[in-house]
């Protein structure tokens, strides 16, 4: 069983999916990736989650994000399930679902938590950047559906932080003020880097308008 940590290069793998055989790193290309696992096909919470992902495809595409799901069922089951998802959730499943019947990918990414289930994958989310580096993980219990607005929010925050070397406060949303990290101490550097200025609640807590707005 593998244990992945933030900053690790995520494991590559070859596996069958609902859109055919893929090599994961090659399929990801230069995009960000949201990889998320599901306990099983034809289960109610998963059906709603994949429906939400289908509806959010335009939002993912705006952010250069590819979504890919995983379940420990086979391709035929995935394809049949996708029809149910499209019918009940009124959307299109335009992203691949990995067929992980041998649980090889689940083991690589530590998706099976024995105290939850010895055979089903928990609801894990991995956000992976274009360099194939793991940037965020979320793990939910089997019975609790994920918040996909939060997944988009985190992608926005990561991309903003990468581009402008800022941090984001709790409950930050796109357009809100951001935080100047403590690594910036020289006032001349700060003035050049953050020309919109800043307000200091404390010497260590400095807010500045979102740089790209």
* Gyration radius (Cα) of the chain, Å: 19
Dist. CA 153–CA 149, nearest whole Å? 6
4 is catalytic: no
Half-sphere exposure in the Cβ direction for 136 (13 Å, CA) = 17
CB neighbours of residue 168 within 10 Å: 20
Dist. CA 85–CA 105, nearest whole Å? 23
Identified catalytic residue from 10, 34, 35, 46 = 46
* DSSP class of 208: E
- Is the Cα dihedral 167, 138, 32, 131 positive or negative? positive
Query: Which residue from 53, 97, 42 is spatially nearest to 75, judged by alpha carbons?
Result: 97
CA dihedral in degrees (153, 159, 161, 162; nearest 10)? Answer: 160
Dist. CA 101–CA 112, nearest whole Å? 13
Collapse the DSSP code of 114 into the 3-class scheme (helix H, G, I; strand E, B; otherwise coil) and give the result.
coil
Catalytic site positions: 46
């Amino acid at each position: 069983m593998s244990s992945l940590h933030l900053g690790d290069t995520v494991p590559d793998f070859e596996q069958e999916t609902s859109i055919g055989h893929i090599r994961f790193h090659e399929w990801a290309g230069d995009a960000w990736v949201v990889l998320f696992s599901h306990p099983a096909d034809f289960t109610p919470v998963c059906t709603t989650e994949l429906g939400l992902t289908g509806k959010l495809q335009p939002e993912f595409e705006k952010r250069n994000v590819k979504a890919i799901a995983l379940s420990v069922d086979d391709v035929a089951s995935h394809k049949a399930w996708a029809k149910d998802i499209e019918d009940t959730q009124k959307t299109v499943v335009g992203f691949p679902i990995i067929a992980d019947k041998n649980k090889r990918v689940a083991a690589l990414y530590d998706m099976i938590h024995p105290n939850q289930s010895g055979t089903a994958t928990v609801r894990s989310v991995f956000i992976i950047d274009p360099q194939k580096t793991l940037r965020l993980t979320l793990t939910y219990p089997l019975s609790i559906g994920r918040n996909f607005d939060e997944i988009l929010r985190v992608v926005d925050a990561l991309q903003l932080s990468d581009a402008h070397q800022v941090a984001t406060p709790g409950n930050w949303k796109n357009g809100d003020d951001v935080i100047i990290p403590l690594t910036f101490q020289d006032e001349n550097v700060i003035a050049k880097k953050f020309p919109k200025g800043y307000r200091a609640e404390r010497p260590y807590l400095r807010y500045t308008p979102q740089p790209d707005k």
